[in-house]
Chain A
Amino acid sequence: MNNSASIVAVILVSIASLVVGAFGLRLSRTMSDFYVASRGVSPVLNASAISGEYLSAASFLGVAGLILARGVDMLWLPIGWTAGYLLLLVFVAAPLRRSGAYTLPDFAQLRLESVVARRVSSLLVVAIGLLYLIPQFQGAGLTLRTLTGAPSWVGQLAVAVVVCLNVLPGGMRSVTLVQAFHYWLKLLALLTPLFLLLGAVGDRTGDPDVGAVFVRDWVEPLQGDHALYLTYSLVLATFFGTMGLPHVVVRFYTNPDGRAARRTTLSVLVLLSAFYLLPVVYGVIGRYVASDLVAAGRADSVVLELPSRLFDGPVAEGLTAVLAAGAFAAFLSTSTGLVVSVAGVVSQDLVRWGAGHRQGIRTFRLTTVAVVAGALLLTVVSAGVPVAHAVELTFAVAASTFCPMLLLGIWWRGLTSRGAIAGMVVGGGLSMGAVVTTIFGIAAGGWFGVVLTQPAAVSVPLAFATMVLVSLATRSRAPEHVAQTMVRLHAPEHIDLNRGSFHPERWYRRPPSAEVTADGTQHPAYDRAGETARRPGTTARRG
């Protein structure tokens, strides 16, 4: 492949992302602009941004490759990644927005009133974020190497630099515009070449490779060993894991209210469904014209290779360049979202060397650089380790930790901080253990090995059970303000009610001595005075 066009396309996408980001800079002045764009983002823009951030390299390149290689059973991945948003919509979207928290640790502290639960959540956010970030960087390196022959670190460094340049000046607000732009870029980058490719396939009547398509274990579901368990475990991980991904959840705070959060999520369902049909078609076309890629172990690059299989010369080059631009946008947007959410949590929770707005923003910028550098270092260290599977495992970790914490925390008054911590430790320990053994290739035979490759069907129910049982055992230590928290999570915003005075920006400005009350008696983020004070509207109505 000759790829000067692709290099130009990748550079253009990077420049366009920076320009769009600079356009969104105007108004990001305050702390909350940095984290959540001051919540002033319209539903359509926000839905595009959510979808743009969510559709990673695994969606743009990986789905087509997996369908090419393994056939019908892999259709569960795009379905699971979309249905995950349906479950997020029905169980989590509006209450999470109404909680007013910026991040998952904020939510943990609001609901559980425990600094320990907050710390455990922060560590999990960092772990999940890095686990998800490494495959993005590695994918970028591999793609640029496939296209240009450049060494892997070029692509990794390019993504890292563009992500930093996007996040550092504007925080979340500029990122929102960039990610909305990336969604439409990715959709068009897959859609436009598709018509030409389909036309070319249609012209090739009497295809010699058509025999490769109607292979029994490709076209028929559930043909492999333990296929039923693996499928159900994958379904469980993806359906319930989406709501626990830190970069997905942080996006919900940019909605103006709970209803807008629901409507945004509905738009996301439409946008994701429209997108996910396309890689499936690429995988099927790949089976017709490029089935040799499977044997060569390069199924992941099928999207990028299809144009050169069906066309010659400048047409092939141009189409490859368009697809390369889309793939690079996929790396950029997901990495950016992950970096923003991890850096937000790290700067709020794990390092607290600044207080007040100016220093807070400086801390956020410093941690952004630190997170990107750390992820880059881990990517280099773990080079050669098969991490493509790590994206699937990330969903299993999220489904075994944050998913039960959110579901039980929102819908069950009985969840205590000890129950939540125990459940997150059990679920996180089991799923992370599976991740580690899989990444380092510690093979285990029989059913144990099968469970390790898809741990969700075991770890998710165990995490739920642990949370419920430990909460029941520690019933006397229920959070003090749980009744008020439930009002806050579920009552529509336009009703004037006392929702407590928790504010995510307040707690970390407090001196660390407030943490001695970590066992839930008094909550550092609650202002004692503000708790009993009524707003004027509430009092007036009572007359």
Chain B
Amino acid sequence: MTPPTPPTPPASPEPARSRVRVTSPRTSAARTRNVSIASEIDEQTRLGEVYITSLMRSQLRLALGVLLVLASTLGLLPLLFTAVPGISDVHVLGAPLPWMLLTVVAFAEIIGLGWFYVRRSERNEDTFSDLLDGR
């Protein structure tokens, strides 16, 4: 029994380097991914860019959300004080309301927002790295 002869290479050497399909041409079959997302990102393909952009978007959306909350609470206080001149007559725990808002309440809000941001941003990053490791 002579072993089957290897398929003869095509005549010209240049196309020989291109890929030769040896399986049945099932074009309807799903393509299997043999390139990881990490390398898609490294190669700066469109797909890799989509992944990095999605991470950036989620983090930016979170950061802008924190800024929006800050702007619509602390940021509106000067306008509130202008609109409601009698607000200093309201006393909370013995101090006028603006003084309480601009000390204890403001600092508590800042710390709370910071805590919320750290938790959520780490979760965004975990989602991203799970996405990359899952393949």
A residues lining the B interface (CB < 8 Å): 72, 75-76, 79, 82-83, 85-87, 89-91, 94, 219-222, 228, 231-232, 235, 259, 262-263, 265-266, 269-270, 273, 276-277, 280, 411, 483-484, 486-487, 490-492, 494-498, 534, 538, 541-542
Q: How far is the CB of A291 from chain B (nearest CB, A)?
A: 17
Q: Are the C-beta atoms of A220 and B52 separated by less than 8 Å?
A: no
Q: Are the C-beta atoms of A86 and B110 separated by less than 8 Å?
A: yes
Which A residues are CB-close (under 8 A) to B36? 541-542
Q: Are the C-beta atoms of A490 and B56 separated by less than 8 Å?
A: yes
Q: How far is the CB of B86 from chain A (nearest CB, A)?
A: 9
Q: Are the C-beta atoms of B98 and A266 separated by less than 8 Å?
A: no
Which B residues are CB-close (under 8 A) to A269? 110-111, 114
Which B residues are CB-close (under 8 A) to A498? 41-42
Q: Are the C-beta atoms of B41 and A487 separated by less than 8 Å?
A: yes
Bound CA–CA A72/B49 (angstroms): 49
Q: Is B102 an interface residue (CB 8 A)?
A: yes
A-B contact pairs, 17 of them (CB 8 A): A72-B88, A79-B107, A85-B114, A87-B70, A89-B118, A90-B63, A90-B67, A221-B88, A222-B81, A262-B118, A269-B111, A269-B114, A273-B111, A490-B56, A492-B125, A497-B41, A538-B38
Bound CA–CA A280/B123 (angstroms): 37
Q: Are the C-beta atoms of B115 and A538 separated by less than 8 Å?
A: no
* Cβ-defined partner of A83 (8 Å) among B39, B55, B85, B110: B110
The A-B contact count (CB < 8 A) is 132
Contact A221-B129, Cβ < 8 Å, known A86-B114, A91-B63, A277-B107: no
Q: Is B6 an interface residue (CB 8 A)?
A: no
Which B residues are CB-close (under 8 A) to A232? 78
* Cβ-defined partner of B96 (8 Å) among A86, A87, A219, A228: A219
Bound CA–CA A259/B107 (angstroms): 23
Of residues 68 to 97 in B, which have CB atoms within 8 Å of A's CB atoms?
A: 70, 74-75, 78-79, 81-82, 85, 88, 96
Bound CA–CA A330/B83 (angstroms): 39
Which B residues are CB-close (under 8 A) to A542? 35-36, 38-39
Q: Are the C-beta atoms of A82 and B110 separated by less than 8 Å?
A: yes
Q: How far is the CB of A232 from chain B (nearest CB, A)?
A: 6
Which A residues are CB-close (under 8 A) to B42? 497-498, 534, 538
* Cβ-defined partner of B82 (8 Å) among A82, A228, A266, A280: A228
- When C-beta atoms are compared, the residue in chain A nearest to B66 turns out to be A90
Bound CA–CA A498/B41 (angstroms): 8
Interface centre among B38, B66, B108, B114 (most CB of A within 10 A): B114
Contact A266-B39, Cβ < 8 Å, known A82-B107, A273-B107: no
Interface centre among B35, B78, B85, B96 (most CB of A within 10 A): B78
Which A residues are CB-close (under 8 A) to B27? none
- When C-beta atoms are compared, the residue in chain B nearest to A71 turns out to be B99
Contact A492-B78, Cβ < 8 Å, known A90-B67, A270-B111: no
Q: Are the C-beta atoms of A262 and B70 separated by less than 8 Å?
A: no
B120-135 vs A, CB cutoff 8 Å, 1 = contact: the mask equals: 0110010011001000
Q: How far is the CB of A93 from chain B (nearest CB, A)?
A: 10
Which B residues are CB-close (under 8 A) to A494? 129
Bound CA–CA A20/B52 (angstroms): 44
Bound CA–CA A541/B55 (angstroms): 22
Interface centre among A232, A263, A491, A538 (most CB of B within 10 A): A491
Q: Are the C-beta atoms of B98 and A90 separated by less than 8 Å?
A: no
Q: Are the C-beta atoms of B104 and A277 separated by less than 8 Å?
A: yes
Contact A86-B106, Cβ < 8 Å, known A222-B78, A222-B81: no
Q: Are the C-beta atoms of B81 and A221 separated by less than 8 Å?
A: yes
Known: A220-B85, A266-B111, A280-B103. 15 other contacts (CB 8 A): A79-B74, A79-B102, A86-B70, A86-B110, A86-B113, A90-B117, A94-B121, A220-B98, A222-B78, A228-B79, A262-B121, A411-B60, A483-B44, A486-B56, A490-B56
4 pairs of A and B residues whose beta carbons are closest in the complex: A273-B107, A75-B102, A90-B63, A221-B81
Q: Are the C-beta atoms of A228 and B117 separated by less than 8 Å?
A: no
Contact A492-B128, Cβ < 8 Å, known A262-B118, A273-B107: yes
Q: Are the C-beta atoms of B52 and A487 separated by less than 8 Å?
A: yes
Which A residues are CB-close (under 8 A) to B98? 72, 220-221
Q: Are the C-beta atoms of B67 and A496 separated by less than 8 Å?
A: no
Which B residues are CB-close (under 8 A) to A222? 78, 81-82
